């Protein structure tokens, strides 16, 4: 199965069984066609085997001291920072991919962790902690721990001093949210670089995520039409027109008909 078809199949599974590690690697496979997903999963297994004690402290020491994982401050927007295979190879990345490494190595080592999609900076937290005694981990800063007050300070620095810090900012998020944020990061990079080929596959994967908004479906249709895949673009628009997310189904269907007419 090609990486796009495999990604779509996994992304449609129930949240509880979505494999974060494989989905992240399938994203990377779109940038590197010869990527061996099974070999990269085995690399995560090997990292987990060296953790030893089942604790957050042991996990952080193993990854950020023994193995040398570090945040890439020098070239933050390098797409390689968002590709899990490259993060495993180079031992550097952005917060969310380093968080994926932590979560997946932790899962294998018996340390239950979850992602925290805090505005502006992705973090990790231990499962089962309440928001009062909460301890968050910053994988971009060598596994440094943050309490709630430190998180509030970060959010206010980013969004302004008047912002109300919401408990949802530090709630654990599921696999679909993590993968969607990874793809949103790559979308922004592709737009900034005017990389049409990269943007095409990123939009295709974003549109495959559960609950993807109508605007992404339209972008996918536009991308397909731009590459003369008019029939597939029309299929996307017809599905969109039949969904509750579409406010103007008549106009969307008319666009689909015009695309099909271009096949003749």
Q: Which residue has the higher pLDDT, 120 or 190?
A: 190
Q: Which residue has the higher pLDDT, 246 or 157?
A: 157
Confidence of residue 133 (pLDDT cuts 50, 70, 90): low
- Parallel/antiparallel/unpaired status of strands 123-126 and 136-138: antiparallel
- Whether the per-residue pLDDT at 129 is higher than 60: the answer is no
Confidence of residue 212 (pLDDT cuts 50, 70, 90): confident
Confidence of residue 240 (pLDDT cuts 50, 70, 90): confident
What residue spans define the domains of the chain? 3-173, 213-264
| Non-local CB neighbours of 232 within 8 Å, separated by 6+ positions | 224
| Non-local CB neighbours of 96 within 8 Å, separated by 6+ positions | 82, 115, 122, 178, 181, 182, 185
Give the pLDDT confidence score for residue 264 in this predicted structure: 65
- Whether the per-residue pLDDT at 249 is higher than 60: the answer is yes
- Whether the per-residue pLDDT at 131 is higher than 70: the answer is no
- Whether the per-residue pLDDT at 74 is higher than 80: the answer is yes
Q: pLDDT > 70: what percent of the chain?
A: 96
Q: In the predicted model, what is the mean pLDDT of the chain?
A: 91
Give the pLDDT confidence score for residue 43 in this predicted structure: 98
**Section 238-259 average pLDDT:** 79
| Predicted confidence (pLDDT) per residue in 168-204, tens digit | 888 999 999 999 999 999 999 999 999 999 999 999 9
- Whether the per-residue pLDDT at 130 is higher than 60: the answer is no
Cα distance between residue 190 and residue 197, in whole Å: 9
């Amino acid at each position: 199965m090609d990486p796009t078809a495999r990604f779509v199949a996994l992304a449609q599974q129930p949240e509880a069984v979505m494999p974060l590690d494989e989905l992240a690697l399938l994203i990377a496979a779109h940038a590197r066609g010869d990527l061996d997903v099974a070999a990269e999963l085995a690399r995560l297994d090997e990292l987990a085997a060296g953790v030893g004690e089942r604790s957050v402290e042991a996990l952080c020491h193993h990854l950020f001291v023994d193995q040398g994982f570090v945040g890439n401050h020098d070239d933050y927007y390098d797409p390689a920072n968002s590709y899990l295979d490259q993060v495993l190879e180079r031992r550097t990345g952005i917060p969310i991919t380093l968080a994926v490494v932590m979560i997946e190595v932790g899962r294998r080592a018996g340390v239950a962790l979850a992602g925290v999609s805090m505005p502006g900076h992705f973090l990790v937290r231990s499962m089962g902690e309440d928001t009062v005694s909460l301890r968050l981990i910053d994988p971009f800063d060598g596994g440094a721990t943050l309490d709630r007050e430190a998180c509030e300070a970060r959010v206010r620095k980013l969004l302004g001093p008047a912002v109300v810090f919401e408990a949802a900012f530090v709630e654990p998020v599921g696999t679909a949210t993590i993968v969607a944020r990874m793809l949103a990061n790559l979308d922004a990079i592709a737009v900034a670089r005017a990389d049409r080929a990269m943007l095409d596959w990123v939009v295709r994967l974003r549109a495959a995520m559960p609950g993807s908004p109508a605007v992404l479906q339209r972008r996918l249709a536009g991308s397909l039409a731009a590459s003369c895949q008019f029939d597939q673009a029309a299929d996307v628009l017809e599905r969109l027109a039949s969904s509750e997310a579409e406010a103007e189904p008549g106009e969307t269907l008319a666009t689909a008909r015009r695309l099909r007419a271009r096949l003749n």
